[in-house]
A and B are shown apart, each in its own frame.
Chain A
Amino acid sequence: MTTTTPPAGIRTPLIPPSTHPYAEVIHRLEAGGSMLPDTPENLQQIIGIYKAYAVPMDFYWRDLLYIAEQVFLNPLPAFKYFISQEYLDRPNSYAGDQSQLRIWRGGEKAHPELLAFMERGETRRMPKLLHHLWHDRVNMEFAEACMRAMLWHQGMGGRFNDYLESEAYRANADRAIKAYFRGNPLMLGLYALFPEMFLEQVRQLSTTANLGLFWEVMAPVFFEMSDLYDEGQLTSVPQAMDFLVNGIFAVAGRPIYHHVFIRGECFEIIPMSEGFTWLYEAALPYVEAVFYRTSPFRGTKSYNAQAGQVPADQADFHYGILYADVFPVGSAGIPPTLLMQDMLHFLPPYLQELYREHRRGEEDQLVQLGITFQRSMYNVTSAVIQALRCALLYPLDDTDPKHLLANRQFFEAQMDRFLRPEARLPDIQSQDYR
């Protein structure tokens, strides 16, 4: 019998290969890769879509904060999407020279492509009200659907939802509600009769602030990735994922709070001193609620809850982008379709060209774009998985087999979530899925 010694430079694996159905993906994650294969086209697709996503996101976060902080409990919020100039000009806390953490180079102002679109839309320059009624505008309904998914699912880690039920929160909300409706006996009378209804509205607005603060960070991150790609500095899918991992850590400690401004006075419904953080109270619940769970929205596909087509347990919901069948989703009024339409307005030329070359060209751009978005969100989810591994487990180059096995179990548990047939993880392994 002969024994073979591996040549110098080739390390013998410290743990045996995974036997998981997604073993190939798991080994890629263990090697520092992403769930999305590293190909030049995948990189091009995900960066292009991050850019197209960042532009409407630059509106979403501003308007979400405007709604949470200024519109607040307006009983007829018909103009909540008519963002005030102050909030449109609000400097991004993580971009621009005034930023405390200057690691992304973009400016603090609203993106020029967003401002140009708000001016002209798809049609032509006309009063804001007409753009709104013609629905030629940024689809804030998508942003609010994401917010509602976060509010509805709850129980996804962090302390945010516990706080929404606390006495301290009720007292803070009560002060703000009474101040907001001061001199309005009708609304104060309704509040006295139905306090829980008002409180639930405030909880929704706190979740609106939460999502606004979350996306305020993501917009400059995605712009920066697009700029780096254009400059030739971002050359692989794992690099794109690592950039996101570093971004997640950099802002993990950003406070999540809800302040309301009523006649110039600030009411701290969720004070910064509660210690809520971007990572635990916003990012992780967002990924869980929006990427994985959301809810079965009406579209060309209908679900029969009585027939067990909708899980009884909310944790088993699987209607997020990681599971979506993008084709039937592509119907009017469906939240993901609203986002796709938003992104369509800001596609970089190289993605427009790519879509023209495949499938039905411009005819099914929304579907192709949706699948690109799916690829890009598998990469963002990979970044979240790697960030969690980094925060809670062990380095990928750890030399202790027990640590590597712990990492392995973590990766396998994450991949278990994609074993259900709706998961698109197997599809995105191939470039033919468009």
Chain B
Amino acid sequence: MATILETAAAVGCFNTLLAAVDAAGLRGALEGPGPFTVLAPVDEAFAALPPGTLQTLVDNPPQLARILKYHVIAGAHSRAALCAQPEWPSLEGAPIPIRSTDPFEVKNATVVTADVACDNGVVHVINRVILPG
């Protein structure tokens, strides 16, 4: 198996996410043993953000890291495990609500592919960038 970041790179639809992880200086952490559960927004999700949003974040790595950490949960949790609880603490600190189990919706994003197993965790692919609050 590959790590979370290797898996994401191989798929080819997470270019923005991977670039953001590098800009935020989180590559080292996400290549560690973890395990992590990563809610990975596809490139289209980042492209849907209003103009300038991503640029401001990329220009300011600590702020970008905060938003990215909102997409990560400590531990490896499958879809079934996530659905067993109404909300999960993100690494950012704010909770991530599980709004629907079928279809599987995490906050206001829909999980388009769940349970991608990796060496150091699990990836669930989501269609929208989620924000704390």
- In the complex, are the beta carbons of A275 and B133 less than 8 A apart? no
Q: CB of B33 within 8 A of chain A?
A: no
CA distance A254 to B50 in the complex (A): 15
The digit string for A273-299, where 1 denotes a CB below 8 A from any CB of B, is 111110010001000000000000000
Nearest-neighbour CB distance to chain A for B109, whole angstroms, equals 10
User: Given the complex, which residues of B lie within 8 Å of A101, measured CB to CB?
Assistant: 52, 55-56, 59
The digit string for A99-122, where 1 denotes a CB below 8 A from any CB of B, is 011010000000000000000000
Q: CB of A251 within 8 A of chain B?
A: yes
Q: How many residues of B contact A (CB 8 A)?
A: 24
- In the complex, are the beta carbons of A250 and B133 less than 8 A apart? no
Q: How many residues of A contact B (CB 8 A)?
A: 30
The digit string for B59-79, where 1 denotes a CB below 8 A from any CB of A, is 110111111000000000000
- In the complex, are the beta carbons of B56 and A252 less than 8 A apart? yes
User: Given the complex, which residues of B lie within 8 Å of A164, measured CB to CB?
Assistant: none
- In the complex, are the beta carbons of A255 and B52 less than 8 A apart? no
A274, A284, A394: which contacts B62 (Cβ < 8 A)?
A: A274
Nearest-neighbour CB distance to chain A for B34, whole angstroms, equals 21
- In the complex, are the beta carbons of B52 and A251 less than 8 A apart? yes
CA distance A280 to B57 in the complex (A): 13
A249, A255, A277, A284: which contacts B49 (Cβ < 8 A)?
A: A249
Nearest-neighbour CB distance to chain B for A390, whole angstroms, equals 8
User: Given the complex, which residues of B lie within 8 Å of A274, measured CB to CB?
Assistant: 62
- In the complex, are the beta carbons of A277 and B53 less than 8 A apart? no
Contact flag A392-B59 (CB < 8 Å), given A249-B50, A275-B65, A402-B100: no
User: Given the complex, which residues of B lie within 8 Å of A103, measured CB to CB?
Assistant: 51-52
B53, B57, B63, B133: which contacts A392 (Cβ < 8 A)?
A: B133
CA distance A106 to B33 in the complex (A): 48
Q: CB of B80 within 8 A of chain A?
A: no
Q: CB of A168 within 8 A of chain B?
A: no
Q: CB of B12 within 8 A of chain A?
A: no
The digit string for B93-104, where 1 denotes a CB below 8 A from any CB of A, is 100000110000
Contact flag A250-B66 (CB < 8 Å), given A100-B59, A392-B108, A392-B131: no
User: Given the complex, which residues of A lie within 8 Å of B52, measured CB to CB?
Assistant: 101, 103, 246, 249-251
**Which residues of A from 212 to 267 have beta carbons under 8 Å from B?**
245-246, 249-255
CA distance A131 to B73 in the complex (A): 58
CA distance A266 to B108 in the complex (A): 41
Nearest-neighbour CB distance to chain B for A395, whole angstroms, equals 9
CA distance A254 to B64 in the complex (A): 10
22 A-B residue pairings within 8 Å (CB atoms): A100-B56, A100-B59, A101-B52, A101-B55, A101-B59, A157-B133, A249-B50, A249-B53, A250-B56, A252-B57, A253-B53, A253-B67, A254-B56, A254-B60, A255-B63, A272-B62, A275-B62, A275-B63, A275-B65, A280-B133, A284-B133, A391-B131
**Those 9 A-B pairs whose CB atoms lie nearest each other, nearest first:** A250-B52, A249-B50, A253-B57, A275-B66, A275-B62, A253-B63, A253-B56, A249-B53, A391-B131
Q: Give the B-binding residues of A (Cβ under 8 A).
A: 100-101, 103, 157, 159, 245-246, 249-255, 272-277, 280, 284, 388, 391-394, 402-403, 406
Q: Give the A-binding residues of B (Cβ under 8 A).
A: 49-53, 55-57, 59-60, 62-67, 93, 99-100, 107-108, 131-133
